[in-house]
C-alpha cells in the first residue's frame, strides 16, 4: 500500500525501522534494550506497610473506559485512489498517555523517552540541526504508520549522537539513606536538590533525574533484585515485591570520580552503571517503574536544565497522510449493514494494521453522520 517506487531515503528509513524491530526481538542483546521488565513491574505487589501515601508507581492507577480501544482512521476519497478505488484504513489503539494508567503508561514512557532523546540531541548536535533532522524524518515517513516514524527518528538521532561525539550518555544511580525521604513534599524536594549537587560534585555536569521510590526484592529469600534482572540471583525465582528504598537514577554527561571520598562526606552511594548504547531504551526502562506523584517524573539539571538549555527542538504535530492521495487521515466509522469481525491488532508490525475497505462499509466520521441525516 506504499508507492511502487519509493525514494532511496524511504527505503533507508524503512530498513532502519525494520532492523530496529528485529533488534528488539533479539534476546541476546536484552541488556542493551533495557526495557525487558515492563511486563513484570505492573504485576508486582507491594510488601506489607511498604506503600507510601505520597508515592505510587507508574501504571498503578485507573484506566479510562476506552483506554486501549482499537479504532480506525483513514481516507475515503476513493475517487483519487485509482489503483484500487477503495478506502484506505489504519487501525490504532486509543491511549490517554497518562503515567498512572495501567493500560497506557508504556505509551507515556515512549513519549517521554523520545522527548529525552530530542533534548540530548539538541544539546550535543545543536537545536537547529536536530530540528532539521526531525523535519526530514517526518517528511520521509508521512505516509508510514506513526510507529515507523518514531522508530526512524529515534534511530537517526541516536546514530548521529554516537558518531564522532566525545561525550557519551552514562547511567548513574544516587542512593541516599532510606530515612532521608519520607511522605512529605519538603523532604523529597530537599533530597532532589541534594542529588543535583552530589551529581555535579561527582563529575556529572548535566542530565536528567528520575526518582524511584521502591526497589524489588525476592518474595522467597528477600534478596535485592539488581537492575535489568528477571529472576532472583540466589533462588532463581521471579516472585518479587516492592519495598521502600528511595533513590535517583541519572542519565547524563560527565566523568564520575571520587565516589568513595564523597560517600564519607555526604553519605550517598553513587554508582556508575556505564555508557548507554540507547538513550531511548534507558529511559523506557527507568520510566517503567518510576515514582508517580504530583512531581514531574523526569527533571533536568546542569547544562541540560530548562534555564540553561533554552532552545530545544520540538517534535510538533505528527500528521498521518494517505499513501495514495496524500490527504490527512481522519477518523473512520463502520457504516456497513453487518458488524465486522473485531480487528486483530498487531503490536509488532504496524503494516499489518492497515487495510483496504469498501466505500459502502467505511466512511469518514463526519461524512457518516451526514449520510445518516440524509437517510433519515
For residues 9 and 197, what is the distance between their CA atoms, to the nearest angstrom?
45
pLDDT for the residue numbered 229: 77
pLDDT tens sequence across 312-357? 999 999 999 999 999 999 999 998 887 777 788 999 999 999 999 9
For residues 340 and 359, what is the distance between their CA atoms, to the nearest angstrom?
14
Our CA angle for 73, 147, 304, nearest 5°, is 125
Beta-carbon contacts of residue 376 (< 8 Å; ≥ 6 apart): none
pLDDT for the residue numbered 23: 44
Question: What φ, ψ does residue 204 adopt, rounded to 5°?
Answer: -95, 120
Angstrom CA distances, 103 to 18, 145, 148, 324, stand at 25, 21, 21, 33
Low-confidence ranges of the chain (pLDDT < 70): 1-43, 45-50, 53, 367-376
The beta-strand segments (E) located in the chain are: 56-57, 70-75, 87-93, 170-175, 204-218, 240-254, 269-275, 291-292, 298-302, 330-334, 354-357, 362-364
- Is 207 within 8 Å of 272 (Cβ atoms)? no
pLDDT for the residue numbered 43: 62
SS3 of residue 301 by DSSP: strand
For residues 163 and 159, what is the distance between their CA atoms, to the nearest angstrom?
6
pLDDT tens sequence across 200-244? 999 999 999 999 999 888 888 888 887 777 788 888 888 888 888
pTM score: 0.84
pLDDT for the residue numbered 372: 47
pLDDT for the residue numbered 27: 30
Please return the burial class of 169, using the count of CB atoms within 10 Å of its CB with bins 0-12, 13-18 and 19+: buried
Amino acid at each position: 500500500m506504499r508507492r511502487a517506487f519509493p525514494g532511496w531515503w524511504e527505503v533507508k528509513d524503512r530498513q532502519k525501522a525494520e532492523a530496529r524491530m528485529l533488534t528488539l526481538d533479539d534476546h541476546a542483546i536484552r541488556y542493551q534494550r533495557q526495557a525487558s521488565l515492563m511486563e513484570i513491574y505492573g504485576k508486582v505487589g507491594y510488601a506489607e506497610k511498604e506503600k507510601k501515601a505520597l508515592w505510587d508507581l507508574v501504571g498503578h492507577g485507573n484506566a479510562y473506559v476506552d483506554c486501549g480501544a482499537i479504532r480506525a482512521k483513514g481516507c475515503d476519497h476513493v475517487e483519487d485512489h485509482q489503483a484500487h478505488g477503495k478506502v484506505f484504513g489504519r487501525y490504532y489503539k486509543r491511549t490517554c498517555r497518562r503515567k498512572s494508567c495501567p493500560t497506557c503508561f508504556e505509551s507515556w514512557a515512549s513519549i517521554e523517552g523520545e522527548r529525552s532523546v530530542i533534548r540530548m540531541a539538541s544539546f550535543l548536535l545543536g537545536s537547529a540541526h536536530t530540528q532539521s533532522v526531525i523535519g526530514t524524518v517526518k517528511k520521509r515517513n508521512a505516509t508510514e504508520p506513526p510507529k515507523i516514524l518514531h522508530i526512524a527518528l529515534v534511530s537517526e538521532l541516536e546514530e548521529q549522537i554516537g558518531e564522532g561525539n566525545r561525550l557519551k550518555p552514562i547511567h548513574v544511580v544516587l542512593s541516599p539513606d532510606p530515612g532521608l525521604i519520607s511522605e512529605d513534599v519538603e523532604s523529597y524536594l530537599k533530597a532532589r536538590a541534594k542529588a543535583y549537587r552530589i551529581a555535579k560534585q561527582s563529575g556529572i555536569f548535566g542530565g536528567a533525574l528520575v526518582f524511584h521510590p521502591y526497589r524489588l526484592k525476592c518474595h522467597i529469600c528477600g534478596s535485592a533484585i539488581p537492575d535489568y534482572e528477571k529472576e532472583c540471583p540466589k533462588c532463581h525465582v521471579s516472585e518479587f515485591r516492592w519495598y521502600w528504598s528511595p533513590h535517583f537514577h541519572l542519565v547524563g554527561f560527565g566523568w564520575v570520580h571520587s565516589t568513595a571520598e564523597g560517600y564519607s562526606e555526604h553519605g550517598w552511594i553513587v554508582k556508575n552503571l556505564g555508557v548507554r548504547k540507547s538513550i531511548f531504551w534507558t529511559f523506557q526502562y527507568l520510566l517503567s517503574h518510576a515514582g508517580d506523584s504530583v512531581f514531574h517524573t523526569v527533571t533536568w539539571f546542569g547544562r541540560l536544565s530548562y534555564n540553561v538549555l533554552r532552545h530545544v527542538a520540538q517534535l510538533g504535530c505528527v500528521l498521518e497522510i494517505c499513501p495514495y492521495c496524500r490527504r490527512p487521515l481522519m477518523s473512520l466509522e463502520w457504516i456497513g449493514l453487518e458488524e465486522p469481525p473485531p480487528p486483530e491488532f498487531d503490536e509488532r508490525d504496524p503494516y499489518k494494521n492497515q487495510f483496504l475497505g469498501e466505500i459502502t462499509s467505511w466512511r469518514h466520521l463526519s461524512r457518516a453522520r451526514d449520510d445518516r441525516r440524509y437517510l433519515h
